[in-house]
Amino acid sequence: MRHRSGFLLFLAVLGLDQLTKWSALAWLDPVRPVEVTPFFNLVLVWNRGVSFGMFARAPEWGPWALVLLTLVIAAVLIVWLRRETRALSRAALWLVLAGAAGNLIDRLRFGAVVDFLDFHVQDYHWPAFIVADSAIVGGRALLLLDGIVLSRAAVQNAPEKG
């Protein structure tokens, strides 16, 4: 039962990611951003690299190397997920896997990831991102929270053996 709810979370995040990317591709103009608020735009950006556009200028085989790397990381996360006993860490791993799957689908379909959420302060723009990126970052943050803060608190509150 513990994996069923996690898999549903995975499907929900992946579905939301793909739906929002489909919407961005259908309605956004690649040349003209849509200003939503004074600090948020919708833009259509193709990210051929990884986080923050790193490695975007990789050779022609670069996207395939990223596909392979994603598959290896996903396999490691699945092994970790099967062994993980803490609920928060399991949910975090499902989030990271959903984000990775969303980006993997884009790389296989387009050779790049569709990004479209653009937050900015005046002329300083945070790199455009998407639901998949948010799931990966949020999942990693939850893993850190569970692994560092909550695990440490559990150890400190455990009754002494003796």
Q: Would you name the residues annotated as active-site residues? A: 115, 133
Q: 76-82: long-range contacts (C-beta < 8 A, 24 or more apart)?
A: 81/3, 81/6
Rounded to the nearest 10 degrees, the angle between the axes of helix 131-144 and helix 2-27 is 150
Q: How many Å apart are CA 123 and CA 49, to the nearest integer?
A: 23
Q: How many Å apart are CA 14 and CA 159, to the nearest integer?
A: 41
Q: How many Å apart are CA 132 and CA 80, to the nearest integer?
A: 20
Q: How many Å apart are CA 149 and CA 126, to the nearest integer?
A: 28
